[in-house]
């Protein structure tokens, strides 16, 4: 495990860190001269706008995904056909990522399924532009990463003691109040994992913004690719990658801290209950 972590994670990250502090080569690549030019370029207003756009898209996508995943996970946990529902959630993984993106392009295109149906029922007179905008990016990203949010939420809700909801209802709480004040705090670990599994890949998304986004949908992942292939500015691409890595690391550390705090709180509660019983 240590060897795998070192070779496939630590070494690539160190290479990226090293490249970010070197000078840009004249014809691409890097020059072995220490430089902070790549990080100075991150103060460019254009880069800041793209960063804020990427963060906004990631936050909106994560919120929508979580709002859809919560009722799905709850229904799966209460259902008697959990295996069938789990299979339905996992089935999209059997299809290649790009094939699913192109499928959405066929659905949302001007001559796609959605426009054809709207035209046939007379709801529109001319095809509507559903593709190549931010809404299309959010829609496809939600579809792509919804299973990653449903699975940890289902695992947490499935372990939840539903008799607590009945007790809350007996004490006068409404069904919505019981769900919000009793269940949600107890599945916070699953919610944090779902948020992490959604926000991080969306923050570094490349293919979806490239294929279904427009000119105003340029994100950090696209910027890194352009710096490598068009501008041939490897140090700047590495510096941008370090921004994504830093955000990812902060999210992981925050999630681990929250889980440890929840675990210690549960352990303290159990200890207190045992003392009171004795």
Q: % helix / strand / coil in the chain, to the nearest 5? A: 80, 5, 20
230/93 Cα distance (integer angstroms) = 32
Q: Do 41 and 239 touch, CB atoms closer than 8 A?
A: yes
Whether 124 contacts 195, CB under 8 Å: no
What is the rounded distance in angstroms from the CA atom of residue 75 to the CA atom of residue 15?
45
Q: What are phi and psi of 24, to 5 degrees?
A: -70, 135
Question: From the DSSP assignment, how many helices (H) and strands (E) are in the chain?
Answer: 15, 2
Strand partners, 24: 30
What was the pLDDT predicted at 262?
A: 72
Tell me which H or E stretch contains 22: strand 22-24
- In terms of phi and psi (left: phi > 0; alpha: psi -120 to 50; beta: otherwise), the region of 126 is beta
How far is the C-alpha of 17 from the C-alpha of 242, rounded, in Å? 7
Identify the DSSP state of 50: H
Q: Please tell me whether residue 30 adopts helix, strand or coil conformation.
A: strand
Do residues 252 and 30 touch, judged by C-beta distance below 8 A? no
Domain residue spans of the chain: 2-243
CATH of 2-243, one of 1.10.533.10, 3.40.720.10, 3.40.190.290, 1.10.3720.10: 1.10.3720.10
Scanning 159-233, the segments in alpha helix (DSSP H) are: 163-170, 175-178, 184-186, 188-203, 207-212, 220-229
What pLDDT score was predicted for residue 65?
97
Summarize pLDDT for 166-213 with one digit per residue, the tens.
Answer: 888 888 888 889 888 989 988 988 999 999 999 999 999 999 999 999
Q: Which two tokens stand for residue 6?
A: 């070192």
Residue with tokens 């599994």: 197
For the chain, 278 residues long, give each residue's pLDDT as a single digit of tens. Answer: 677 777 788 888 899 999 999 999 888 888 999 999 999 999 999 999 999 999 999 999 999 999 999 999 999 999 999 999 999 999 988 999 999 999 999 999 999 999 999 999 988 889 999 999 999 999 999 999 999 999 999 999 999 888 888 888 888 888 889 888 989 988 988 999 999 999 999 999 999 999 999 878 899 999 999 999 999 999 999 999 998 998 888 888 888 887 788 777 766 766 765 676 66
**Rounded CA separation 69/63 (Å):** 10
Q: What is the pLDDT of residue 56?
A: 95
221 and 96 Cβ atoms separated by less than 8 Å: no
Read off the tokens for 262: 């929840």
Which pLDDT belongs to residue 201?
A: 93
Q: Which residue's structure tokens are 């890949």?
A: 201
Q: How many residues does the chain have?
A: 278
Tell me how far CA of residue 63 lies from CA of 142, 191, 223, in angstroms: 9, 11, 24
Q: How far apart are CA 150 and CA 46, in angstroms?
A: 35
């Amino acid at each position: 495990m240590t060897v795998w972590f070192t070779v496939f994670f630590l070494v690539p990250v160190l290479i990226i860190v090293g490249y970010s502090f070197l000078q840009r080569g004249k014809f691409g690549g890097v020059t072995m001269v220490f430089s902070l030019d790549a990080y100075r370029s991150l103060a460019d207003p254009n880069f800041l706008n793209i960063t804020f756009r990427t963060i906004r898209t990631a936050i909106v996508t994560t919120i929508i995904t979580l709002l859809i995943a919560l009722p799905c996970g709850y229904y799966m946990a209460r259902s008697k056909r959990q295996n069938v529902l789990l299979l339905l959630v996992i089935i999209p993984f059997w299809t290649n990522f790009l094939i699913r993106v192109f499928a959405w392009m066929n659905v949302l295109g001007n001559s796609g399924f959605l426009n054809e149906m709207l035209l046939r029922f007379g709801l529109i007179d001319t095809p509507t532009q559903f593709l190549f905008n931010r809404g299309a990016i959010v829609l496809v990203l939600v579809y792509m990463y919804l299973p990653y949010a449903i699975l940890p939420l289902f695992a947490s809700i499935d372990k939840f003691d539903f008799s607590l909801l009945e007790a809350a209802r007996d004490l006068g709480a409404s069904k919505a109040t019981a769900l919000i004040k009793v269940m949600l705090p107890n599945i916070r670990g699953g919610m944090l994992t779902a948020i992490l599994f959604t926000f991080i890949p969306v923050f570094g998304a490349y293919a979806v913004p490239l294929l279904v986004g427009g000119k105003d949908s340029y994100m950090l992942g696209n910027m890194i690719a352009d710096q490598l292939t068009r501008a041939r500015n490897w140090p700047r691409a590495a510096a941008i990658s370090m921004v994504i890595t830093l955000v990812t690391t902060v999210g992981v550390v925050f999630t681990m801290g929250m889980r440890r705090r929840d675990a210690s709180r549960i352990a303290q509660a159990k200890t207190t209950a045992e003392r009171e019983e004795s």
